[in-house]
Amino acid sequence: MASAAATSSTATMFGTAAAASDGCSRRVFVTTTVQVRASRSSPAFLRTSRAIKTYSSCSNSSVVNEPRVGFCFLEFYCNCIKTRLTALVTEVSAKVIDGKATAKEIREEIAAEISKMKESSGVVPGLAVILVGERKDSATYVRNKKKACESVGIKSYEVHLAEDCSEQEILQHISAFNDDPAVNGILVQLPLPSNMNEQNILNAVCIEKDVDGFSPLNIGRLAMRDREPLFVPCTPKGCIELLHRYGVPIKGKRAVVIGRSNIVGMPAALLLQREDATVTVVHSRTKNPEAITREADIVITAVGQPNMVRGSWIKPGAVVIDVGINPFEDTSCSRGYRLVGDVCYEEASKIASAITPVPGGVGPMTIAMLLSNTLSATKRAYNLE
């Protein structure tokens, strides 16, 4: 649920840091980042990047006020160091954390498990999706979920209701799915039309089938030590899965989550804390979010504000997980816009050690985690494993 729609309420309040028309506006001074090229293998790239020193030089240096001779010497000295460094090191951009490829890997694992399950017990997992209204993005997401279900052997059930349907009608469908043993997971596509009571509707989904993990009981358990939630919300779960699969250590690290939505920011912070990170949540009322974010070894952004997090917010070597999927006007694209993250990728990828792209980062992982949650709901329902 990386969507702009899901997080836009907090997003607008960050307005002052918003980017210029082509994504990230250029700074007046130039920051050069020089890093040792890291190895491609996952855990190793981190070891390397942690050992890396980052050298920054800004063209608006105060050195110009030094006496001339001193300045010349300094300049000469700096140039020597620069030349040596250039010989020894090459500028690198961060390792790309490939959510699309990782999601595919996970789908294959899930497909294999489902096929075994069908063989041994005859059980076929089922996921029901309820879509209300005509939002184009929602229709696309639902279509993608359906395709993903088919690709792994989950049977999908879909109900599409009109924008002006009654809450009662939605509740009836939920109740029918709750009672249907062929349906193991139920997802109500968000956002719902604004006149509807989202809480009432989400509360109607029985907890054993709440594959989105949105029920307060689930979140409560997620927040408590020694308790296990039935389901972990898909997007934050996808973020942590990426960190695990790329060998990023979390225990004892400083993590900053930007955004505090019920569906991404807050559960992401809880999950990181469960993984023994020291977690800070930065939100629209936070003073000096930039300085706080710069302390973090791991940054997860979920604000729904295109390119809000600039390179200067990122500690050199940090790992950046960008949950934002924001439409950004671009007439050169066939649909008139392209998708950009909450993070200015161009800048941050020169400073971070690893970063997720948008698209192709957290988005596909959200869907993979939905399939994973549906599989575990099925196993639980039939007492398998």
Ligand X SMILES: Nc1nc(=O)c2c([nH]1)NC[C@@H]1CN(c3ccc(C(=O)N[C@@H](CCC(=O)O)C(=O)O)cc3)C=[N+]21
- Site residues (CB under 6 A) for ligand X? 1-3, 6, 140-141, 144, 187-190, 212, 234, 325, 339, 358-360, 363-364, 366-367
Out of 35, 98, 189, 315, the active site residue is 189
Report the length, in residues, of the chain.
385
Active site residue 379: no
Q: Which is nearer to ligand X, 183 or 188 (CB)?
A: 188
- We find the least distance from the C-beta atom of residue 187 to ligand X, in angstroms, to be 5
Here the tokens at position 89 are: 């090191």
Q: Is 70 helix (H, G, I), strand (E, B) or coil?
A: helix
Q: Are 302 and 323 in contact (CB under 8 A)?
A: yes
Active site residue 172: no
Out of 98, 210, 212, 342, the active site residue is 212
Distances in whole angstroms, Cα of residue 342 to Cα of each of 245, 309, 327, 354: 22, 6, 11, 15
State the residue for tokens 């029901």: 128
Active site residue 212: yes
Strands 326-329, 337-340: pairing is antiparallel
Q: Which residues of 96-109 are buried (b: 16+ CB within 10 A; e: fewer)?
A: bbbbeebbeebbee
Q: Which of 136, 213, 160 is nearest to 370 (CA)?
A: 213
State the residue for tokens 């709901």: 377
Helix or strand (DSSP H, E) at 322? strand 319-322
Q: Which is nearer to ligand X, 46 or 370 (CB)?
A: 370
Q: Which of 346, 299, 376, 372 is nearest to 152 (CA)?
A: 372
Q: Is 35 helix (H, G, I), strand (E, B) or coil?
A: strand
- We find the least distance from the C-beta atom of residue 211 to ligand X, in angstroms, to be 9
Q: Which is nearer to ligand X, 117 or 188 (CB)?
A: 188
State the residue for tokens 């990170």: 277
Out of 35, 95, 98, 145, the active site residue is 145
Q: Which is nearer to ligand X, 8 or 144 (CB)?
A: 144
Q: Which is nearer to ligand X, 6 or 282 (CB)?
A: 6
Active site residues: 145, 189, 212
